Structure 1
Amino acid sequence: MVRQHEYDQHFLRSPRLVAELIGHSNIRKNDLVYDLGAGSGVITAVLAKRVKHVVAIENEPKVIDKLRHNMQMFDNITIINDDIENVVMSKDAYKIFANPPFSLSSKIIEKFVFTNNSPKSIYLIVQKQFALKIVPSDTRFTSRLGVLIYPWYSTRIRKPLKRSDFTPPPNVDTVLLEIRKRDTPQIDSNREQAYIDFVKTMFQDNEAFRKVAGKFLENRPSVKPSELPIETWLKIFRD
């Protein structure tokens, strides 16, 4: 999961804005929180004032020394100089609040949702169009990733951001996306891998999709996997 810092990471300018965004989350004072792609620590520092412990992960050589310098006043921050892909997460309950490079959004979500000890919640700043495809809707397409995580996590957009909130300003609209673990999963955990394989196959193989989903398509033979309502996906899998 190689960083593309110079291309698509846009850092938040204001600690005050970070505090406001955290206020839109379910992060609380006794939480362990991971900041992925921490940069110089704007998010890390605000988290450290609000939670029990923060793990800041940063792999950019030009930034890691600045992060260490900026965070030296805190005693509840662990800094890890490594790629996000290599980090072994805590066995304790944890949450994620981060502003990673946009190009890593999908990989981060899929990696952490389906890890052995998945987070209680994930808050990521992402491109608005990416978020809209993750959050299920009867009026929009749902991406493969949105279908994959739905049985175990609810998703919603918590707050839109302005382009001027970042440095450098992105060329796209952005939002704070919430991905929150369900109290009651829609599918039993022992069928997790079967569901993952099923969804991936349906999105990759149009013939298989038509064969399996045919009776649910309501005489709409041109329907694509991304156009199916999320509840229909669950019905097809359980059928």
Structure 2
Amino acid sequence: MTRRIHKYSNQKLSRGEPPNFSGQHLMHNKKLLNEMVERANVSKQDTVLELGAGKGALTTVLNQRAGKVLAVEYDSKFVEILEWKTALNPNTTIVHQDIMKIHLPKEKFVVVSNIPFSITTPIMKMLLSNPSNALQRGIIVMEKGAAKRFTSKFVKNAYVLAWRMWFDLHYVKEISRTNFSPPPKVDCAMVLINRKKEPIIPIKDRVIFIGLAEYALREPRATIEMALKGIFTPPQMKHLKRNLGIKNEITIGSLTESQWGIVFRTMIQYVQRPLWPKTKKKR
């Protein structure tokens, strides 16, 4: 029988009303649901995490392909439907919990989800901002605007840049709002996530790199020299630009992932540690 877990931490659930997940739009297009599972390359060897399972349209596709499915849903009415639909699937666990309070699986896992749009960025941060977790790959459906921002060649946000040091993010396709119930006000998109075989920045240096990214991307359209002025001396900057293969000025937000690796390694090698920018946020 399907097991029901109220919280990974084994604490009692609050009796209050569930958080406002007005951003949850249930996908009903079976072709798209199957495409998500196909693109995630789900197999019987996989543990799959589904965030915002709703009424189980995707869950029932996943549990036919995966070895183990963890379907997270907060709405009690949806949980009852999920339990009924998966009662004969012992590989499926319904997790009745706020998405932002779950503990990610300790074993290697794949995420396949049509996430609540109102908490898109927090969910992505939960999945990607700590590369020491066990996430291997995933397919996520989200608002088109967020999908474009997370996959754009021009990077404005330090946390998005940090994700790309350890994960590849690829914009797969646009999805019409007509494929959802209720239909969102904007079109959506499918995003593919893959853990890099070789990270650009060592995971142990994550906090150091985030400090650099936050400092450098304060003004994403600033030139490299202006953005990194407080870190590198003029001779060091000249050396850095030579390493980057840059002759003309370009904006800091235009650097490629591999160029960011060069910036980081140059800082580590030539800049004294007290001058390394530090992250101002708790990690």
d(CA) in 1 for partners of 2:44 and 2:174?
25
SS in 2 for 1:5: coil
Residue 52 of structure 2 corresponds to residue 37 of structure 1: yes
Residue 168 of structure 2 corresponds to residue 159 of structure 1: no
Asked if the contact 1:144/1:226 (under 8 Å) is kept, the reply is no
> Structure 2: any 5+ residue segments left out of the alignment?
1-17, 267-283
Asked if the contact 1:95/1:121 (under 8 Å) is kept, the reply is yes
Larger Rg: 2
d(CA) in 2 for partners of 1:202 and 1:127?
27
Asked if the contact 1:4/1:101 (under 8 Å) is kept, the reply is no
d(CA) in 2 for partners of 1:48 and 1:9?
21
Asked if the contact 2:36/2:139 (under 8 Å) is kept, the reply is no
Give the counterpart letter for 1:232 in structure 2.
Q
Residues 7-43 of structure 1 deviation map (CA, whole Å, 9 limit, x = unaligned): x211101333201221122222221000001111111
d(CA) in 1 for partners of 2:157 and 2:188?
18
Residue 212 of structure 2 corresponds to residue 198 of structure 1: yes
d(CA) in 2 for partners of 1:28 and 1:3?
33
Offset, 1:144: 3.0
> Structure 1: any 5+ residue segments left out of the alignment?
none
d(CA) in 2 for partners of 1:134 and 1:27?
23
- Cα pair distance change 1:235/1:26, threshold 3 Å: same
Scaled by the length of structure 2, what TM-score is found?
Answer: 0.73
Structure 2 residue corresponding to 1:131, chosen from 119, 122, 147: 147
Number of the residue aligned with 1:23 = 38
Give the counterpart letter for 2:197 in structure 1.
D
d(CA) in 2 for partners of 1:27 and 1:75?
17
Give the counterpart letter for 2:142 in structure 1.
V
Number of the residue aligned with 1:180 = 194
Offset, 1:152: 0.7
Scaled by the length of structure 1, what TM-score is found?
Answer: 0.85
Give the number of the structure whose residues are more often helix, by fraction: 1
Asked if the contact 1:35/1:56 (under 8 Å) is kept, the reply is yes
- Cα pair distance change 1:178/1:38, threshold 3 Å: same
Asked if the contact 1:102/1:127 (under 8 Å) is kept, the reply is yes
Asked if the contact 2:105/2:134 (under 8 Å) is kept, the reply is no
Identity of aligned residues (%): 24
Residues 149-203 of structure 1 deviation map (CA, whole Å, 9 limit, x = unaligned): 1111111122321211111112212111011101111111221221122212333
Number of the residue aligned with 2:98 = 83
RMSD (Å) for aligned C-alpha atoms = 2.5
d(CA) in 1 for partners of 2:73 and 2:87?
15
Number of the residue aligned with 2:12 = none
Asked if the contact 2:86/2:92 (under 8 Å) is kept, the reply is yes
Residues 213-235 of structure 1 deviation map (CA, whole Å, 9 limit, x = unaligned): 784586658x4x53444333322
Asked if the contact 2:70/2:93 (under 8 Å) is kept, the reply is yes
- Cα pair distance change 1:141/1:117, threshold 3 Å: closer
Number of the residue aligned with 2:261 = 234
Number of the residue aligned with 1:94 = 109
- Quick check: 211-220 or 65-74, which moved more? 211-220
Residue 13 of structure 2 corresponds to residue 13 of structure 1: no
Asked if the contact 1:136/1:142 (under 8 Å) is kept, the reply is no
Asked if the contact 2:144/2:188 (under 8 Å) is kept, the reply is yes
Number of the residue aligned with 1:55 = 70
